[in-house]
């Protein structure tokens, strides 16, 4: 194979049809745009969602819900993943290095999913009520 012999696969490229080039072409005169009206004019069309003056769908429907921009700073860690860590003292930096929370995380909470068997000392990390009981039952503590 040579660089000058490379070409696209068959059917990958096709020529754009040149419309409005005389009546003999079959797509002359109005060039497939019909007669008169906004759609037949050059540059004449409406904005996305425009419904001819009728109230558009995106404005007729009610707005619902809210997604907090602060959610990207919150993270959750399960008891199971906490149990797999081989450290006695756990803080935000340890969790980030282990890859359990994202780099943007500022607030971390332990949730009760799974079991914990080893005693861990948590500093600067929150926990749900059930997770707190499970950690303390395993001999862990909060600072």
The model's pTM is 0.56
Rounded to an integer, what distance in angstroms lies between the CA atom of residue 135 and that of residue 112? Answer: 9
- Per residue in 27-82, pLDDT (tens digit) is 999 999 999 998 899 988 888 999 989 999 999 999 999 999 989 999 999 999 99
Rounded to an integer, what distance in angstroms lies between the CA atom of residue 121 and that of residue 88? Answer: 6
Torsion of CA 41, 45, 51, 56, to 10 degrees: -160
What the chain holds in terms of domains, given with CATH numbers, is 70-142 (3.100.10.10)
Q: Using the 8-state DSSP alphabet, how is residue 65 labeled?
A: -
């Amino acid at each position: 194979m040579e660089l000058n012999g490379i070409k696209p696969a068959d059917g990958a490229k096709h020529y754009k049809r040149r419309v409005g080039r005389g009546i003999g072409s079959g797509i002359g005169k109005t060039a497939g745009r019909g007669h008169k009206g906004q759609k037949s004019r050059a540059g004449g069309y409406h904005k996305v969602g425009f419904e001819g003056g009728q109230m558009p769908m995106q404005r007729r429907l009610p707005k619902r819900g809210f997604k907090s921009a602060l959610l990207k700073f919150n993270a959750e860690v399960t008891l199971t993943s906490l149990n797999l860590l081989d450290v006695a003292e756990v803080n935000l930096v340890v969790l980030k290095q282990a890859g359990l929370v994202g780099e943007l995380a500022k607030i971390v909470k332990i949730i009760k999913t799974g079991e914990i068997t080893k005693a861990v000392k948590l500093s600067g990390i929150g926990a749900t009520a059930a997770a707190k009981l499970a950690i303390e039952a395993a001999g862990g503590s909060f600072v």
